[in-house]
Amino acid sequence: MQTSLLTFLLLLVLPGRKTANFTKSVVTLHPPWSRVLKNDLVTLRCEGPGASEDNSTLWFHNDTIIPVQIQDYNITADNITYSGEYQCQIGQLALSDPVRLEVFQDWLLLQTLKLVYMEGEPMVLRCHSWKNKVISKITFFQNDKGRKYSLHDSNFTINQVNYNDNGNYFCSANIGNRKHTSKVVNITVQGTPHPSTSTSSKIWYYILFYLVMGILFAMDTALYFILKTKVNSPKKNMRHLVTKWS
């Protein structure tokens, strides 16, 4: 009964709170992975400009109010129903953008900070095991080709991603004596590689094209006048001979 009453009161207060300030609240994940395994511990933190620990906080899961009013919302993802979109609203700030959390039931999981990167950004991948069991012989794959192998390092970092880093990623590792493989994750890198170089190449292509065309035109014109001179010369000689003998 108390929970239902709290939910009802929060719904009454919510409309006024949402319009009080256009500055949005922000949901952050700790650790920062949006893909987790069953039984992982996750803290969702509600933050924003001017907010403090004393501010009351509203939490939502898939647009349904969660009956807690704390800034740090701690969950143990012991069920895949924890998957979905989370939003929060702290103090007088506006409702946050949704942050998606996905819970998987598996031995291994490839974790990434996000699924879409801009060219030039760093990318960190992690091969994560259920209940943080010790893993070894870890291999990261991109489009079925090995990118990194390590006996114990479960992280794979690319300092600056480019278009060639697009593709499907997964990892494999040993847990004890058994080898396991994670599900595939599609990662997209937006932007074209080396735009300045590409533009410069196009400019030089046009310069060379018009230069070659100009040379060919000059050669063709010169050849035309040479041939015209040779053709006209016998005619002039013949007229000269005819005039002389006549």
For 49-105, the pLDDT digits (tens) are 877 666 789 999 999 999 999 999 999 998 899 999 999 999 889 999 999 999 999
Q: Show the beta-strand stretches assigned E in 62-201.
A: 64-66, 72-76, 84-90, 99-104, 108-112, 116-118, 123-129, 135-142, 145-150, 155-158, 167-175, 178-181, 185-190
Whether 195 shows a pLDDT value over 60: the answer reads no
pLDDT given for residue 95 in this prediction:
95
pLDDT given for residue 191 in this prediction:
84
Longest dimension (CA), the chain: 134
- 105: CB partners within 8 A, 6+ apart: 37, 38, 80
Range from 13-22, 112-121, 137-146, 178-187 carrying the lowest mean pLDDT: 13-22
Alpha carbons 88 and 69: distance in angstroms, whole number: 10
Q: How confident is the model at residue 246 (pLDDT cuts 50, 70, 90)?
A: low
